[in-house]
């Protein structure tokens, strides 16, 4: 049987820590289509798949 783990969701604060970007910069990147948009969970609660953010970070290291 395969070991399928659920993808980890991370909130804005964790994205800020991983990317070292400020909230306003992340918002601009989303608006410009330069970073994966968050998933809307409830109301104003946003989250990203951790793997998407880690892949985005790797793609920026050129």
CA-based angle 22:15:53, to the nearest 5? 125
Q: Is residue 2 part of a domain?
A: no
Q: Is residue 19 part of a domain?
A: yes
The whole domain housing 45 covers 9-60
pLDDT value of position 4: 74
pLDDT value of position 57: 97
Q: Is residue 43 part of a domain?
A: yes
How many domains does the chain contain in total?
1
Q: Is residue 23 part of a domain?
A: yes
pLDDT value of position 61: 84
Q: Is residue 17 part of a domain?
A: yes
Q: Is residue 30 part of a domain?
A: yes
Spell out the SS3 assignment of the chain: CCCCCCCCEECHHHHHHHHCCCHHHHHHHHHCCCCCCCEEEECCEEEEEHHHHHHHHHHHCC
Write out the chain's pLDDT in tens, 62 residues.
Answer: 565 788 999 999 999 999 999 999 999 999 999 999 999 999 989 999 999 999 999 999 87
Q: Is residue 3 part of a domain?
A: no
Q: Is residue 22 part of a domain?
A: yes
């Amino acid at each position: 049987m395969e070991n399928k783990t659920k993808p980890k969701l991370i909130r804005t604060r964790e994205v800020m820590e991983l990317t070292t970007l400020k909230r306003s910069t992340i918002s601009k990147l989303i608006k410009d289509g330069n970073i994966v948009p968050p998933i809307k969970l409830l109301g104003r609660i946003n989250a990203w798949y951790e793997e998407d953010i880690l892949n985005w970070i790797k793609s920026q290291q050129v």
